[in-house]
Chain A
Amino acid sequence: MYETTYHRAGSAADAARMIAESEDGKFLGGGQTLLPTMKQRLAAPSDLVDVTKIADMKGIREEGGQIVIGAATAHAEVAASAVIKSRLPGLATLAGGIGDPAVRHMGTIGGSIANNDPAADYPAALVGLGASVTTSKRTLSAEDFFTGMFDTALDDDEVVVSVSFPVAEKTAYAKYPNPASRYAMAGVFVARHGDGSVRVAVTGAGQSGVFRAEDMEAALAANWSPDAVAGISVDSGGMLHDVHGSAHYRANLVTVMAKRAVAAAG
């Protein structure tokens, strides 16, 4: 690790100012990706601005039909939350399956989505539920927020404050983990809303990060059952391919995980 200077921000505004004043600063949202990268000397931020101690960025509340999760809320807290388990069980499952216990107690939802790893789990939930992301500057839809692999709409000095999830009627997440890293090779979040609309969001498999499987959404809107998606394959042309799996295999996993997610949602 190269030398860096640690700052603890007291508020989102404070954090934005610290980043603006730094030479090449980075927000620290739990550090479960950034710190290992720094230890390998693959990242060398001049300053780290820790946003996980900001009081009003922590916690989970239900507000106007939405579940609002503070950006500094750890995955373990989301997984254990009674309100999330009852209102958005798929989200609780997803958070409980991120990394390992140490990661889940350090990593935060804000940190995860700001990094937008194409194999991370949270982006599937945000897109699958049609969540909105509130930052220190504005509120964005999940689809506008995620702009590509490791890329988001965030400005350099913009910090995620909270994520609001609409409560859905049925939710589930099914993930096929990479046997080495346990990141998703294909993670599919399915949600059916009260108005009958369905979303299917896929992480881990696509070259550009999270995406919606619209054919599956239409099929499920007409017939909410695993069989409805069993015959629908996604185009392997847009899939990742690496030492862990070919694009063809990942496309298969998307269909299988979608089927299992619908089955789990009931």
Chain B
Amino acid sequence: MAVEGIGARALRKEDKRFITGKGRYTDDIVAPGMGYAAFVRSPHAHARIKSIDTGAASVMPGVDAVLTGDQLVGDGIGNIICGWMIHSKDGSPMKMGGWRALEPEVVRHVGQAVAVVVADTLAQARDAADAVVVDYEELPSVTNAVAALGPDAPQIHPEAEGNLIFDWEIGDEAAVNAAFENAAHVTRMNIENNRVVPNPMEPRAALADYNSAEEHFTLYTTSQNPHVARLVLSAFYNIAPEHKLRVIAPDVGGGFGAKIYIYPEEMVCLWASKRVNRPVKWACDRTEAFLTDAHGRDHQSEAELALDSDNKIIGLRVKTVANLGAYMSLFSSSVPTYLYATLLSGQYNIPAIHANVKAVYTNTTPVDAYRGAGRPEATFLIERMMETAAREVGLSPAEFRRRNFVRSFPHQTPVIMCYDAGDYDATLDAAMSAADYDGFAARKAEAASRGKLRGIGISCYIEACGIAPSAAVGSLGAGVGLWESAEVRVNPVGTIEILTGSHSHGQGHETTFSQLICERFGLDSDSVSIVHGDTDKVQFGMGTYGSRSGAVGMSAIVKALDKVEAKAKKIAAHLMEAAEGDIQIEGGELKVAGTDKKLSFTEVALAAYTAHNLPEGMEPGLKEGAFYDPTNFTFPAGTYVCEVEIDPETGKTEIVNFVAADDFGKIINPMIVEGQVHGGLTQGIGQALLESVTYGENGQLLTATYMDYAMPRADDVPSFNLSTHETLCPGNPLGIKGCGEAGAIGSPPAIINAITDAIGNNDLTMPAKPEKVWALYQSSMKQAAE
């Protein structure tokens, strides 16, 4: 391997392992004597459990135990928690219903676990699970959040009257009211953000191994944040104190948010492993994943945008109902509040914003952060409003946006966020040019000659990443700090291990984090390894989500590298009898400036460990750790332009061009960044065109397999046209903003703006399924004819 530093398109070090089948995922791991868990799940959306008969199941071949919620509660296992406190506008704390890992009394969504079987084989466990007889008294259910607030809706949790979890607000309502009174034009829309299922390629899995002699647990699990998992399992669920619980997240095949949270299944595996005194493995099948992985989005909003006579925005009013599902998942309360409404200002100078968010229980799978988490909902809302307002006032969508862009930084929005740096004109100009926006009319005419409807749409997104300054999020209700830690271990032979609290589950950290060391010391990437995902190896870490591993995780590494570099220079200066300030590091060597004196990095490392000749008072060794707490969020931003062709006879949308011009700050590896954007855009396209979570009237999830739930495939996406435009983030040492979520955040409004442009009908909801588009176009034609 070569010395590939910051900015190099280094090939991914981890790929050889993954593409040759040598990855080691949780379900690949075998513990001697392990049994298999199978869960008994509710077939009802809402029902009272009258009885659970485990008699027949417990005497079936190979069965160790059939365990229920009564036993779980009896053993003192705690309820599943939500780790972010939100207060309603009246000051009252959010109303959290109890969530038990195995429910003994009332099930509240289809797929909720009520019992678990542990047996010698998976087939035996499943057979026995089928033989557990649960007598349910079915109760009325509700899956739509607005309906759940209605007077006739069934009561889901006794703690949350009328199913209202909180009624929260942000911004200055009086200022917004005043703005609307003075408005020259008001644009009003009802905007839905459709629920989606994350669908990481690797379903969730857990292997829990209890050692009764040491009273120690090891949990292998599909986690984006193993330390957070250990903390929550210890502090709230009474599984074991932290020093008696090791959590390992080995290779993990995608997360997208769904693997942040602590779910019932891994808790039950830990508890069951102690109960049956053998290791217990569980691996989710795809339909279980549809039913139990935390879903994303599911907002219904009313939005109003007030403009003055110059078409400048003077106010934004938003009322959102957020569906949190049947239980409050770990960070569910933060998503429709501080990760959503704080981004409603978009890239625009909006003097007054007020948002009211009602979070609601329904009889559906819990909803939590999914790639973008709140920011896609905000971006979809503001960018649909911007496009619509531009059409209404007769300005080009680009001109209307330009007229309202933020141009001076720092910019304090009326909704907490303070944008630190950006150049929104630059990304808009780049995108317009790459999309040949000016040539669109000719392309539309050419498409019409082929019987196709062509449309173009813009989205100028902004998001908040680098999550997050600990004191700031603490003041907003977070139960944890959101710093990151790193340790740089230089071995005596000069190779380096980086221990990081970030977790890689597709992001390519083994490559990009190594590039930092290559850049700093001029070392070959083969001499660096990245260690992550094991609470026994890495001291602590907050994990990977919210596009934070670059901005926060790498910043911690940089801080640790600074310390290593300083110590290495001291040693080199001492050995070469030079001034510390004259030591320069270049090409894997420490040199004395202006002389031919030099030592290899290996020689200095060895000197640190032999400790035969160190500066007076210096400790041996070359190993340093650091914690990095961000000073602000980071603000990636950009412009996406989508061009579509629609078949008017079927309503099918083809994305014929998609341009993304992004500002991610400093880029470590452009190839990996492009991969992140491709993946994000594809998920955004999935949400905008294909992914349709459908609950039946009785709360059954009708789209719980790939036969019914359409995921985007290669032929659903175009060859993307990408570019990046760097303004450095002033808040962290490398100037990184983050790139993991942008594609999923920015793309849906661009797509829907393009389709509505093509069909001349703005009433389109996501996903823009062909039948909907066809029917809207038919009705536009009919209206035009009349």
Contacts and interface: CB of A to CB of B under 8 A. Distances in A.
Interface stretch (B97-105, B587-595, B599-607, B706-714): B706-714
A245 B651 CA distance: 12
Given A243-B692, A249-B771, A256-B650, A41 B702 contact: no
Contacts of B711: 180
Contacts of B775: 249
A181 B706 contact: yes
B126 A41 contact: yes
A181 B649 CA distance: 21
A38 to B, nearest CB: 12
Contacts of B126: 41
A246 B707 contact: no
Contact of A253 (B650, B702, B769): B650
A180 B709 contact: yes
Contacts of A194: none
B703 interface: yes
Nearest to B707: A181
A49 B652 CA distance: 41
Interface string A228-266: 000000000000000111100100110010000000000
Contacts of A243: 692, 694, 702-703, 708
B282 interface: no
Contacts of B650: 176, 252-253, 256
Which residue, of A2, A3, A178, A249, has the highest number of chain B Cβ atoms within 10 A?
A249
Interface string B694-726: 100000001100111111000010000000000
A225 B238 CA distance: 74
A179 B710 contact: yes
A40 B769 CA distance: 28
A40 B704 CA distance: 12
A252 B694 contact: no
Contact of B708 (A40, A244, A245): A244
B710 A252 contact: no
Contacts of A244: 708
B355 to A, nearest CB: 32
Nearest to A1: B123
Size bracket of the A interface: 10 to 19
Given A243-B692, A243-B702, A249-B771, A180 B123 contact: no
A180 B706 contact: yes
Contact of A252 (B130, B690, B774): B774
A256 B706 contact: no
Given A245-B771, A249-B771, A256 B710 contact: no
Contacts of A181: 706-708
Contacts of A41: 126, 130
B649 A256 contact: yes
Contacts of A253: 650
Contacts of B287: 40
B190 to A, nearest CB: 22
A41 B703 CA distance: 18
B774 A180 contact: no
Interface in A165-218: 176, 178-181, 183
Which residue, of A3, A40, A179, A256, has the highest number of chain B Cβ atoms within 10 A?
A179
Nearest to B778: A252
A1 B124 CA distance: 11
Given A3-B123, A243-B708, A179 B690 contact: yes
A249 B649 CA distance: 10
Contacts of A245: 771
A37 to B, nearest CB: 11
Contacts of A1: 123
Contacts of B706: 180-181
B774 A249 contact: yes
A243 B700 CA distance: 13
Contacts of B708: 180-181, 243-244
Interface string A1-42: 111000000000000000000000000000000000000110
A237 to B, nearest CB: 18
A41 B775 CA distance: 38
Contacts of B692: 243
A41 B770 CA distance: 33
A8 B769 CA distance: 44
B600 to A, nearest CB: 52
A195 B552 CA distance: 75
B554 to A, nearest CB: 39
Interface in B172-192: none
Interface string B264-297: 0000000000000000000000010000000000
B671 to A, nearest CB: 28
Nearest to A179: B710
A165 to B, nearest CB: 29
Interface in B641-671: 649-650, 652
A41 B287 CA distance: 12
B100 to A, nearest CB: 27
A256 B650 CA distance: 8
Nearest to B689: A179
Contacts of B703: 180, 243
A257 B771 CA distance: 15
A245 B692 CA distance: 12
Interface in B755-786: 769-771, 774-775
B177 to A, nearest CB: 42
Interface string B98-131: 0000000000000000000000000100100010
B702 A246 contact: no
A180 B707 CA distance: 5
Nearest to B702: A243
A245 B771 CA distance: 7
Contacts of A40: 287
Contact of A246 (B123, B709, B710, B771): B771
Contact of A180 (B130, B710, B770, B771): B710
A48 to B, nearest CB: 17
Interface string B527-544: 000000000000000000
A256 B649 CA distance: 7
Contacts of A246: 771
Contacts of B716: 179
B304 to A, nearest CB: 33
A245 B652 CA distance: 13
A261 B126 CA distance: 47
Interface in A82-134: none
A40 B690 CA distance: 24
A246 to B, nearest CB: 7
A2 B127 CA distance: 9
Contacts of A249: 771, 774-775
A41 B709 CA distance: 20
A37 B574 CA distance: 72
Nearest to A255: B649
A226 to B, nearest CB: 11
Which residue, of A178, A246, A253, has the highest number of chain B Cβ atoms within 10 A?
A253
Contacts of A2: 123
Contacts of B707: 180-181, 183
A252 B770 CA distance: 12
A183 B703 CA distance: 16
Nearest to B286: A40
A253 B702 CA distance: 23
B701 to A, nearest CB: 11
17 contacts: A3-B123, A179-B770, A180-B690, A180-B708, A180-B709, A180-B710, A180-B711, A181-B708, A243-B692, A243-B702, A244-B708, A245-B771, A249-B771, A249-B775, A252-B649, A252-B650, A256-B649
Interface of B: 123, 126, 130, 287, 649-650, 652, 690, 692, 694, 702-703, 706-711, 716, 769-771, 774-775
Given A252-B774, A256-B650, 14 more contacts: A2-B123, A3-B123, A176-B652, A179-B710, A179-B716, A179-B769, A179-B770, A180-B708, A180-B709, A181-B707, A243-B692, A243-B702, A243-B703, A249-B774
Interface of A: 1-3, 40-41, 176, 178-181, 183, 243-246, 249, 252-253, 256
